[in-house]
Amino acid sequence: MSKYSLIADKLKEEISQGKYSETGKLPTEHELTARFDVSRQTIRQAILSLKNEGAVYQVQGSGTYVSKTEGVKRPAVGSAFRNILVICTYLSDYIFPSIIRGIESTINGNGYRIHIAATGNSVGLERKILSDVIKLQEVDGIIVEGSKTSFPNPNIALYREIEKLGISVVFLHCTYPELTNAVVVGMDDYAGGRMAADKLIKAGCRRILGIFKSDDRQGLLRYAGFSDCAIEAGLNLDDIQVRWYTTEDINDHGMTLSSGMISILSNSTVDGVVCYNDQIASSLIRDMSRAGSRIPRIVSFDKSYLCEASAVHFDSLGHRKDELGRLAAIKVRNMIEGRRETSEFLGWTE
């Protein structure tokens, strides 16, 4: 057996034993040359052999890194594109096109290719997409907006299998409670809920209604910030009313309010409403206007085109969509290239 093969086998044995798991980085060529008392060319042949097996990959100017799972091919930087799959809930959502622009402006064409899939916020479609990722093993990184993140999810095992395959994953907005070490890029939804409630309270509102989405963690966190702020401001629990909805309550025209909710709003002293997003705020204004009801002061989230298009003004907190996309792209790229990353949450704008 050749010298470089013996060295490659030794390094592979050490990789399997987890010797380099702390940093993921192999010693430099100079260090390996000294250790094995061979030429630099022999070391390079050994590294090339490991690369061809998918055991390691190289980042130009940085070094050689251990693939998280042997057998998963990683094209060398500069020699081939790396593939990043972006999984969203809805491509037509007014938030997501801006997030995609942020992702594309950061990494598309710079040694990376972006592919997009949508789940329709269905765990079944999410499962199919994740199963294909595992089966084909053609993806280096995933940026994913989870489906119904506040509910128990049957796809957690698939996410863990993807992690074992060495595929880097960054979650958008929030992750699943079971994936405690997941890297997330999102908005600070708890702080946003507080900001929205605070705007109403400072405007003099004392009887406040909140409309929140129950099947994702963003809705739960916005509600938590909303309720904490209202209670700290001295409002009684009777002054804080909450209505919940799920994905299935939304259609192409938004959410249709029940006659009961319109009656409550029309015949009560509610003077302020926090809406989960601009779509819900627009639905609220539409249905109350049709019913000839008084429309209370509204604060929403996302500051989308729906604010400008609305016949009745409402306040909305600004979502940093492009920045969110850029940040997610940077993090998944860093992870693919062997660098550690942590979660990061952005503040809402007035």
CB-neighbour burial class of residue 316 (10 A; exposed 0-12, middle 13-18, buried 19+): buried
Q: Angle at Cα 102 formed by Cα 99 and Cα 106, nearest 5°?
A: 145
Same domain, 202 and 292: yes
pLDDT at 144: 97
Q: Is residue 300 part of a domain?
A: yes
Q: Which domain holds residue 228?
A: 189-319
75 occurs within a structural domain: no
Predicted confidence (pLDDT) at residue 231 exceeds the cutoff of 90: yes
* Structure confidence by residue, pLDDT tens digits, 27-84: 998 899 999 999 988 998 898 888 777 677 766 556 787 765 433 344 444 446 789 9
239 and 153, same structural domain?
A: no
CATH number assigned to the domain comprising residue 247:
3.40.50.2300
Q: Is 218 a member of any domain?
A: yes
* pLDDT tens column, 130-159: 999 999 888 999 999 999 999 999 999 999
Give the pLDDT score at 41: 87
pLDDT tens across 256-315, in order?
777 667 776 776 788 999 999 999 999 999 988 888 888 999 999 999 999 888 989 999
Best CA proximity match to 149, nearest among 224, 78, 218:
218
* Inside any domain, residue 234: yes
Q: In terms of domains, do 200 and 308 share one?
A: yes
Same domain? 107 vs 256: no
Are residue 134 and residue 101 in the same domain, yes or no? yes
Mean pLDDT, rounded, of the chain = 87
CATH no. for residue 38?
A: 1.10.10.10
Q: What is the pLDDT of residue 67?
A: 66
Q: Are residues 167 and 200 in the same domain?
A: no
Judge if 133 and 33 occupy the same domain: no
Q: What is the pTM of this model?
A: 0.75
Note the pLDDT tens digit of each residue in 156-202. 999 999 999 999 999 999 999 999 899 999 999 999 999 999 999 99
Q: What is the pLDDT of residue 72?
A: 36
Tell me how far apart the alpha carbons of residues 57 and 83 are, in angstroms, rounded to a whole number. 15
The contacts of residue 185 (CB under 8 Å, 6+ apart) are: 170, 171, 172, 173, 324, 327, 328, 331, 343, 344, 345
Can you give the pLDDT at residue 321? 94
**Residue 307 resides in a domain:** yes
Give the model's pLDDT for residue 75.
44
Q: For residues 203 and 272, is the Cβ–Cβ distance under 8 A?
A: yes
Number of domains in the chain: 3
pLDDT at 338 over 70: yes
Please work out, in degrees rounded to the nearest 5, the angle formed at the alpha carbon of residue 72 by the alpha carbons of 3 and 182.
125
SS (H, E, C) 269-308: CCCEEEECCHHHHHHHHHHHHHCCCCCCEEEEEECCHHHH
Mean pLDDT of 229-251: 87
Residue 71 lies in a domain: no
Same domain, 232 and 250: yes
Residue 139 placed within a domain? yes
- Measured CA to CA, the distance from residue 58 to residue 166 in angstroms comes to 15
Q: How many angstroms separate the most distant Cα atoms in the chain? A: 87
Per-residue pLDDT tens over the stretch 94-106: 888 899 999 998 9
